[in-house]
Amino acid sequence: MNPMRSIQKRQVKRGVNNKTLYFVKQGFLNIVSHKIMSAASICIVAAALALIGLFTAVGININELMQRIGSSYEINVYLNSENERSISDIEGELKRIPGVKSISFYSREDRLEKVSREVYGDDGYVFKDGENPLRDSFIITVNNLTESDDISKAAENIDGVDEVIRSKDIIGGIDTATRAVRNIGIWIMAVLVILAVFIVYNTIRLGMSSFENEIGIMRIVGASETFIIGPFVVQGFALGVTGAALADILILIGYKIAESNISALISGSITELAGIGMIAAVLTPILMATGGLIGIIGSLAAALKDK
């Protein structure tokens, strides 16, 4: 390798490192110089991101709830009493429907025995010697609760199927709740993000006004815009990430408390909240990335305004 080129590369690398250190140092000095405004920015960013985290946690739990209900949700497929097709043929068609998780067959005799036991206990099968009014049936479980409507329609079109019964109220209620939470959450999160960006913007503008003379001198002597605005971008990023970290800690502590209280009051797998580990794994990267982005956007908008 050319020795001169190697020296030049080391000098360039050293220059980049020095510039980065300068940006970081000046960025944190800017934060310290305006403690009150910086603290206010961090708190407002934290409040905004905490509400975003709250809606995210609610959304995760709604999805978990739908999966739990879906795993136990059943579609009852009743066969025509005059059906001439074999049970295996109908079962094969049902299994080929997209979204079907499992299928169980119950003969009319099995169903009669079950109904008799549930109604009359072990002492008698009152319908055993009489005419059996029940029908052969399949019970279908689904992979995803939202696919149950399509699965039911596909099952109804199979030759030999007389009737398909499922609970539409459960799906409709959960779907309505999911849509409401998602739509409200999107609008609230959008407003909160804009508010947080505006606060960071004002904080950076305040810092730049304090260094107005120094910035003017730097431009006169030929300093690049990157060199001038770099520290302010670092400042905004630090404010956003710090607010995000604070919001993350508050949400996870609050969630842990809520999880413990709900578990103590209500028992059952359906009402169980998603684990704190799952919430942290999803929530922390989202909040940190959003906080950093808020800081960068706000600082760039402020730094480039008077360029």
Same domain for 146 and 212? no
Same domain for 64 and 78? no
Give residue 193's domain range.
Answer: 17-68+172-303
244 within 8 A of 290, measured Cβ to Cβ: yes
Same domain for 97 and 189? no
Same domain for 179 and 273? yes
Same domain for 197 and 92? no
Does pLDDT of 68 surpass 90?
no
167: Cβ contacts below 8 Å, ≥ 6 apart: 73
- Burial class from Cβ neighbours inside 10 Å (0-12, 13-18, 19+) for residue 116 reads middle
Residue 131 lies in a domain: yes
Residue 4 lies in a domain: no
The mean predicted confidence, pLDDT, of the chain is 78
pLDDT in tens, 196-213: 888 888 888 877 777 666
Residues 75-92 as b/e (b if ≥16 CB within 10 A, e otherwise) read bbbbbeeeeeeeeeebee
- Which of residues 144, 166, 188 is at a domain's end? 166
Confidence bin at 307 (pLDDT 50/70/90): low
Does pLDDT of 236 surpass 50?
yes
Does pLDDT of 130 surpass 60?
no
Q: How far apart are CA 282 and CA 142, in angstroms?
A: 26
Residue with tokens 């059906």: 83
Does pLDDT of 54 surpass 70?
yes
Of 123-127, 187-191, 265-269, the range with the highest mean pLDDT is 187-191
Whole-Å CA distances, 279 to 12, 53, 169, 255, 285? 43, 9, 29, 9, 10
Confidence bin at 11 (pLDDT 50/70/90): very low
Q: How far apart are CA 298 and CA 292, in angstroms?
A: 10
CATH number at residue 103: 3.30.70.3040
> What's the number of domains the chain is made of?
2
Q: What is the pLDDT of residue 246?
A: 94
Q: What is the pLDDT of residue 253?
A: 92
Same domain for 86 and 64? no
Same domain for 296 and 178? yes
Same domain for 204 and 293? yes
Q: How far apart are CA 279 and CA 61, in angstroms?
A: 9
Same domain for 116 and 25? no
44 within 8 A of 199, measured Cβ to Cβ: yes
Residue 62 lies in a domain: yes
Q: How far apart are CA 50 and CA 284, in angstroms?
A: 11
Residue 6 lies in a domain: no
Does pLDDT of 248 surpass 90?
yes
3-state SS assignment for residue 103: strand
209: Cβ contacts below 8 Å, ≥ 6 apart: none
- In the DSSP assignment, the letter for residue 273 is P
Percent residues over pLDDT 70 in the chain: 78
pLDDT in tens, 153-190: 898 888 888 888 876 656 666 667 777 777 887 888 88
Q: How far apart are CA 292 and CA 297, in angstroms?
A: 9
